[in-house]
Amino acid sequence: MKGHQLLEQRLRAPLEEHEKLLLPRRWQILGDLVLVNIPTKIAHLKHEIGEALLDLYPRCKSVLWDKGVRGSLRTPEIEVIAGSGTRTVHKENRCKFALDASRVMFSAGNFAERVRMSTVGSNEKVLDMFSGVGQLSIPMAVHARPQSIAAIELNSVAYRYLRQNIRLNNVDGIVQPILGNCAHVTPNDQFDRVIMGHFDACDYLRKALRSLAPEGVVHYHEIVPLELMHKRPYARVEQAAQALARSADLLGTRKVKDYAPGIAHVVVDARID
Ligand SMILES: C[S@@+](CC[C@H](N)C(=O)[O-])C[C@H]1O[C@@H](n2cnc3c(N)ncnc32)[C@H](O)[C@@H]1O
């Protein structure tokens, strides 16, 4: 049986046909929280939907209506619709992420990218310019064991969780958390690899490439219309490299997830000489 059919079965209130069609078809389990996006046309059913999901996932403590993220700090807009509590420890790929889902974002759709980042960086000096709670730095540190990762985060709440996650995963010797704007606090050093996991990353491309050692690799993220995904993001990397009298070599472009109809979250890997 599909997720929305299970949900429909658990709902106590009888539903109109048009309400059934709008029921959420998927949700995210983050630690012991359920996050669900509910169409506003059935907002009146939010508590019933919340209770039904709690019924479906008895080990979860609360259900949160995920209304999206706001601003460049990607602050979540969340409403608790069943149970209580928004803090959790999410476990995946042998990593632990402590977080408060009402204050910091953690995207289920980026799972494959988090796993991919756990396979690169061995013995390297890495810079993570937008580290969040350590979504990409922690798996890399746990599995690939770089020499060091300078992990920068501007939002003090996310930074607090980043520090907690470094301790939780025993990677204090690898990840150095830095609070501040990467435009100003990036260490004056040469890195083998720079991660740019943020949708405003294009504004910081020159900064990133200046920090890359010759033959270093950048992972540049962008939100882009599907028809431009193999052109625009890499063209921006190439332009930034040329502006610094360096050259770029495309290693690959991959879709991290569908972001909206016709829009993709894409990551470009490029070597900068
Ligand atoms: C979308 S989250 C992504 C976290 C992680 N990189 C990932 O891919 O899952 C982006 C993070 O960058 C932080 N951020 C935004 N602008 C920043 C800046 N100028 N310097 C450092 N961090 C910044 C935000 O606070 C947020 O936590």
DSSP per-residue letters across 110-124: GHHHHHHHTTS-TT-
| Number of the ligand 1 atom closest to the C-alpha atom of 182 | 20
Least confident of 1-10, 56-65, 231-240: 1-10
Task: Report whether 78 contacts 103 (CB < 8 A).
Answer: no
Judge whether residue 1 has pLDDT over 70.
Answer: no
- What residue's CA is closest to ligand 1, atom 13? 130
- What residue's CA is closest to ligand 1, atom 6? 197
Q: Residue 153: CA atoms inside 13 Å, Cβ hemisphere, count?
A: 24
Q: How far is CA 99 from the centre of its chain?
A: 12
Query: How does the average pLDDT of the chain come out, rounded?
Result: 96
Helix intervals (H) in 71-214: 111-117, 137-139, 156-168, 182-185, 205-210
Task: Report whether 182 contacts 154 (CB < 8 A).
Answer: yes
pLDDT of residue 210: 97
* Phi, psi for residue 76 in degrees, rounded to 5: -75, 150
Judge whether residue 144 has pLDDT over 90.
Answer: yes
The domain over range 108-272 is classified in CATH as 3.30.70.20: no
pLDDT of residue 223: 97
Judge whether residue 242 has pLDDT over 70.
Answer: yes
pLDDT of residue 102: 97
What's the CA-to-centroid distance between 131 and ligand 1, angstroms?
6
272 vs 264: CA distance, rounded Å = 24
128 vs 195: CA distance, rounded Å = 5
- What residue's CA is closest to ligand 1, atom 10? 198
pLDDT of residue 150: 98
Confidence of residue 35 (pLDDT cuts 50, 70, 90): very high
Judge whether residue 72 has pLDDT over 90.
Answer: no
What's the CA-to-centroid distance between 123 and ligand 1, angstroms?
24
Task: Report whether 45 contacts 8 (CB < 8 A).
Answer: no
What's the CA-to-centroid distance between 135 and ligand 1, angstroms?
10
- Per domain, the residue ranges of the chain are 3-85, 108-272
Judge residue 252's burial from the number of C-beta atoms within 10 Å of its C-beta, 0-12 exposed, 13-18 middle, 19 or more buried: exposed
| Number of the ligand 1 atom closest to the C-alpha atom of 106 | 9
pLDDT of residue 74: 83
| Number of the ligand 1 atom closest to the C-alpha atom of 110 | 9
Judge residue 229's burial from the number of C-beta atoms within 10 Å of its C-beta, 0-12 exposed, 13-18 middle, 19 or more buried: buried
The CATH code belonging to domain 3-85 is 3.30.300.110
Judge whether residue 9 has pLDDT over 90.
Answer: no
What's the CA-to-centroid distance between 265 and ligand 1, angstroms?
15
Using alpha carbons, select from 71, 87, 57 the residue that is nearest to residue 198.
71
More confident residue, 10 or 77: 77
More confident residue, 17 or 118: 118
135 vs 30: CA distance, rounded Å = 13
* pLDDT tens profile 215-235: 999 999 999 999 999 999 999
pLDDT of residue 113: 98
Whole-angstrom Cα Rg for the chain: 20
* pLDDT tens profile 169-191: 999 999 999 999 999 999 999 99
- Ligand 1 site residues, Cβ closer than 6 angstroms: 72-74, 105, 110, 130-132, 135-136, 152-155, 158, 181-183, 197-198
Average pLDDT (237-261) is 97
What's the CA-to-centroid distance between 130 and ligand 1, angstroms?
4
| Number of the ligand 1 atom closest to the C-alpha atom of 72 | 15
Percentage of the residues of the chain whose pLDDT score is greater than 70: 100
| Residue 156, token pair as written in the block | 């003090």
